[in-house]
Amino acid sequence: MAALTQKKAFYISNAIKFILLLVCGFLLMVPFIWMISVGFSRTANVQMPFPPKLIPKDPSWFNFNIVFENGQIFRAYINSGIITVCSVILGVTSSLLGGYAFSKGKFKGKKVMFLIVLGTLMIPMEPRLIPMYEMFNKLGMLNTFWPLFLPALVNGFGIFLCKQYFDRLPDSLRESAQMDGASELGIFFKIYFPLTGPIAATLVILTFIWSWNDFVWPLVVLNDPNLQTIPLYLASFSQENGTSLGGLTMALATVSVVPIIILYLFLQRFIIQSIALSGLKE
Amino acid sequence: MRSKPNRTKAQSEIALGTLRPKRSSLIWYVFLAPAFLGILCFMVYPILESLRLSLFNSSGTGGTWAGLANYKTVLSSSEFWHSVYNTFYIGFFQMIITIPLGFIFASMINSVAFAKNFFKVIFFLPNVTAIVAAAMIFTFVLHPDMGILNYFLDKVGLPTPLWLSNPGTAKWAIILLGVWHWIGFVIIICLANLQAISPELYEASTIDGASGLQQWLFITIPNMMGTFAFLLITGWIGALQRFNEVYVIGGPTGSPNRSIQTVVAYIYEHGFTGFQFGIASAATYVLFVIILIFTMFNLKLTKMKL
């Protein structure tokens, strides 16, 4: 009898939690659902559909056709893609190499240098904005992609993560290769690099998110509309039109957000793991 | 220079306990070259140059020595202090709402018997979208007459504020956006740490007859203090640098009526729309110091070890 009520209590408490989570999860999704719905409404550009409807009165591809015909969004995707890929390659390479040196290397100044790397985590972007702008201005690199991915070389958090990862890999691998007279670079690339899959994947994901969503720095460096990244294009569109042209704005938001959401749904396990790793206390 | 690498070589040989050909430790600097080249060009130089700029009357090239005049201008500017107030106001309420709420959701997801992963994915979804895109969507969601939020509020009989059209409520519009966007991150971090709490603690207390709520209050929450501290510290560092969404919604001056202009927006306004590099640099240094002091304060407050 007691077991039965316990079982009942278990089901009831689970049902309450489930329903509560379902309702709150739905509320969080409402802006996305509404975004897509309004994107399909042609009349929303003149008068937002009110009261809101899930399926618009006269669904049409009108807004999406305009967004695609204009083509700026494709260019923005390509620009964001180039910058993100270059940032990821630079950031991951420098983190793996740096983390490896701090984990396995023996050299003068190791402690101080590691402290400097950790110190970079404390330094925000804002004080560096103007000098970096001036620096790239003097180099004639404003309105190019160089200023956007070169700073990815500095990834204090990435180096920290890699060092911890390499710390867990045994030194015995190195020692036997050293016996055979392999060089340090050879040891890294032949023995340790093939083992870096999990941490490299995490770094790729974190750098991707960071670079894809980056806003202030590209805003400062790029003012050629042809070079705009996705966030820059969205921001300039939004500032130009404010709360007019609701249908077009939402179609544009849909086109820029939905591919990322689909990518996220495919990779969700890895993405969530990477984010969680960034916040796990030791 | 010559003798020192030799010594480290000797040390490493002793450590390895072998007598093999001597290896140079210089190679490690090659490994570190990319990172440190970056740190030199994009961290050390800009930070020092920014300090120099803040002491000069500058609008780009050259400039004349200004001493602390730029700092005086910034610190006596009511607009600057207003932006500091806005930044802290938005950050404070975003934090105090999102951390407890996110923790409660994480606890529910952690203990619900089915669809755990489904909820994890759904709640984290807003955080995956760029804040700029989210801000773009929210200008419509929060529209006083045609927005879906006020429609819902009206349906359940709650007052319908003007949100972004009124300086008095505009900050709350940003807070709402901040909560919506950040809560997924809080949930994921809380979930990861909830799962790291030793199950033995719960087993022991179940034998002692503790209820689920008692366990949550006396085992879970005390064990999550470190996580809350982490969220508070990283949350504040992010909040003090808030810019993207207020720029998209209110422009560099944070309209309406500067009610959502954050410190970084103030810096952007002076640095890149007014090209007053001296004043903007002084403001960035003030912000930098605020972040450092506030982070130290948070570390002390939460008794976290550096």
Would you tell me the crossing angle of helices B225-240 and B78-111 to the nearest 10 degrees? 150
- Which residues in chain B have Cβ-Cβ distances shorter than 8 Å to A188? 31
Which residues make Cβ contacts (< 8 Å) with residue A188, sequence separation at least 6? A97, A100, B31
How would you label A144-153 residue by residue, b for 16+ Cβ within 10 Å and e otherwise? ebebbbbbbb
Encode pLDDT of A184-215 as tens digits: 888 999 889 999 998 999 999 989 989 999 99
* Closest Cβ opposite residue B46 in set A131, A152, A188: A131
Three-state SS letters, chain B: CCHHHHHHHHHHHHHHCCCCCCCCCCHHHHHHHHHHHHHHHHHHHHHHHHHHHHCEECCCCCCEECCCHHHHHHHCCHHHHHHHHHHHHHHHHHHHHHHHHHHHHHHHHHHCCCCHHHHHHHHHHHHHCCHHHHHHHHHHHCCCCCCHHHHHHHHCCCCCCCHHHCHHHHHHHHHHHHHHHHHHHHHHHHHHHHCCCCHHHHHHHHHCCCCHHHHHHHHHHHHCHHHHHHHHHHHHHHHHCCCHHHHHHHCCCCCCCCCCCCHHHHHHHHHHHCCCHHHHHHHHHHHHHHHHHHHHHHHHHCCCCC
Q: How far is B154 from chain A (nearest CA, A)?
A: 11
Give the closest of A94, A178, A253 to B137, CB-based: A253
The CATH topology of domain A71-240+259-277 is MetI-like fold (1.10.3720)
Out of A107-111, A275-279, B178-182, least confident range: A275-279
Distances (CA, A) of B41 to A114, A151, A233: 17, 8, 28
Residue from the list A185, A230, A257 with its beta carbon closest to the beta carbon of B27: A185
Q: B20: alpha, beta or left, given left = phi > 0 and alpha = psi -120 to 50? A: beta
A223 touches A138 (CB < 8 A) = no
pLDDT digits (tens, 9 = 90+) for B216-238: 999 999 999 889 988 998 899 89
**Residue B14 clears pLDDT 50, i.e. is over it:** no
CA distance A42 to chain B (A): 16
Q: B93-131: string of b/e by CB count within 10 Å (b at 16+)?
A: bbbebbbeebbebbbbbbebeeeeeebbbbbbbbbbbbb
| Distance from C-alpha of A224 to C-alpha of A142, rounded to nearest angstrom | 10
Q: Is residue A236 a contact partner of residue A218, using CB atoms and an 8 Å limit? A: no
Q: Are A277 and A161 contacting, i.e. CB atoms less than 8 angstroms apart?
A: yes
- Rounded to the nearest 10 degrees, what angle do helices A197-213 and A246-277 cross at? 150
Write down the pLDDT at residue A103. Answer: 92
Q: How far is A247 from chain B (nearest CA, A)?
A: 10
pLDDT at B9: 47
B17: left (phi over 0), alpha (psi -120 to 50) or beta: left
Question: What is d(CA B55, CA B50) in angstroms, rounded to the nearest whole number?
Answer: 9
Burial B257-293 (b: 16+ CB within 10 A, else e): ebbbbbbbbbbbbbbbeeebbbbbbbbbbbbbeebee
Name the one residue in this structure whose structure tokens are 């929303």.
A44
Report the 10 Å Cβ neighbour count for A23.
10
> For residue range A48-70, what is the model confidence (pLDDT) as tens digits?
877 877 888 788 899 999 999 99
Location of structure tokens 């050879």: A186
Amino acid of residue A28: L
B12 has a pLDDT exceeding 80: no
Q: State the Cα–Cα distance between residues B267 and B284, nearest whole angstrom.
A: 7
Whether residue B32 and residue A113 make contact (CB cut-off 8 A), yes or no, is yes
| CB atoms B28 and A107 under 8 Å | yes
Q: Note whether B122 contacts A: Cβ–Cβ < 8 A.
A: yes
Name which of A110, A130, A265 is nearest B277 (Cβ-Cβ). A130
C-alpha–C-alpha distance, residues A141 and B274, integer Å:
21
Q: Residue A13 and residue B212: Cβ atoms within 8 Å?
A: yes
Question: Does A98 have pLDDT greater than 90?
Answer: yes
With bands split at pLDDT 50, 70 and 90, how would you rate the model's confidence at B305? Answer: very low
- CA nearest B15 in A: which residue? A106
Q: How far is A225 from chain B (nearest CA, A)?
A: 16
Q: Which of A38, A107, A173, A250 to mutate to test the interface with B (most CBs of B within 10 A)?
A: A107
Chain B hits for A216, Cβ within 8 Å: 243-244, 264, 268
pLDDT tens track for A146-161: 999 999 999 999 999 9
Of all residues in chain A, what percent carry a pLDDT higher than 70? 97
- Give the residue from B195, B12, B231 showing the smallest Cα distance to B106: B195
On the question of pLDDT at A221 being above 70, the answer is yes
Q: What is the pLDDT of residues A236-255, one digit of tens each?
A: 999 888 878 889 999 999 99
Interface check for B35 against chain A (CB to CB < 8 A): the answer is yes
Over the stretch B89-100, which tens digit does the pLDDT of each residue have?
999 999 999 999
pLDDT digits (tens, 9 = 90+) for A35-49: 999 999 888 888 887
Q: Which of B25, B132, B225 to mutate to test the interface with A (most CBs of A within 10 A)?
A: B132
Quick check: B291 contacting A, CB < 8 Å? yes
Interface mutation vs chain A, best among B14, B26, B43, most A CBs within 10 Å:
B43
Q: What is the mean pLDDT of residues B147-156?
A: 90
Q: What is the nearest CA distance from A28 to chain B, expressed in angstroms?
A: 7
* Percent over 90 (pLDDT), chain A: 62
**Contact call for residues B134 and B142 (beta carbons, < 8 A):** no
Nearest-CA distance A144 → chain B (Å): 17
Of A97, A257, A276, the CB nearest to B188: A276
Mean pLDDT of A121-137: 90
Q: Give CA–CA dist B74/B290, Å, rounded.
A: 14
**pLDDT, tens digit, for every residue of B242-256?**
999 999 999 999 889
Q: Using CA atoms, how far apart are residues B283 and B130, in angstroms rounded to an integer?
A: 27
* Cα–Cα distance, B47 to B38 (Å, whole number): 13
Q: Render pLDDT for B69-91 as a digit per residue (tens, 0 to 9).
A: 999 999 999 999 999 999 999 99
CATH fold group of domain B73-301 = MetI-like fold (1.10.3720)
For residues B114-119, average pLDDT? 91
Contact between chains at A238 and B136 (C-beta distance less than 8 A): yes
Tell me what percent of the residues of chain B surpass a pLDDT of 90.
Answer: 57
Q: Please, which residues 202-261 of chain B have a Cβ atom closer than 8 Å to chain A?
A: 212, 226-227, 230-231, 234, 237, 240-241, 243-244, 247-248, 251
> Which value does ipTM take for this structure?
0.90
Residues A107, B129: C-beta atoms closer than 8 Å: no
* A282 pLDDT above the threshold of 60: no
Question: pLDDT category, B61, cuts 50, 70, 90?
Answer: low
- The answer to whether residue B4 scores a pLDDT higher than 70 is no
Residue B38: per-residue pLDDT? 95
Cα–Cα distance measured from residue B49 to residue A136, given in angstroms and rounded to the nearest whole number: 14
Whether residue B265 is predicted with pLDDT greater than 60 in this model: the reply is yes
Q: Is A105 in contact with B119 (Cβ distance < 8 A)? A: no
Look at residue B60 in the predicted model and tell me its pLDDT. 57
| Distance to chain B for A81, nearest Cα, Å | 15
Residue intervals of chain B classified under CATH 1.10.3720.10 are 73-301
Map B107-137 to HEC letters.
HHHHHCCCCHHHHHHHHHHHHHCCHHHHHHH
Test the B interface: residue of A106, A114, A130, A268 with most B CBs within 10 Å: A130
Interval B52-56 mean pLDDT: 90
pLDDT in tens, B156-167: 989 889 999 889
Residue B144 has what pLDDT? 87
Res A156: pLDDT:
92
Q: Do B23 and A184 touch (CB under 8 A)?
A: yes
pLDDT grade for B62, boundaries at 50, 70 and 90: low
Residues of A in contact with B60 (CB under 8 A): 134
H-only helix segments in A120-245: 126-138, 146-149, 156-168, 172-179, 184-187, 197-213, 216-221, 230-241
The residue that leads in pLDDT, A160 or B14, is: A160
Q: Which residues of A touch B143 (CB under 8 A)?
A: 48, 243
- pLDDT, mean over chain B: 87
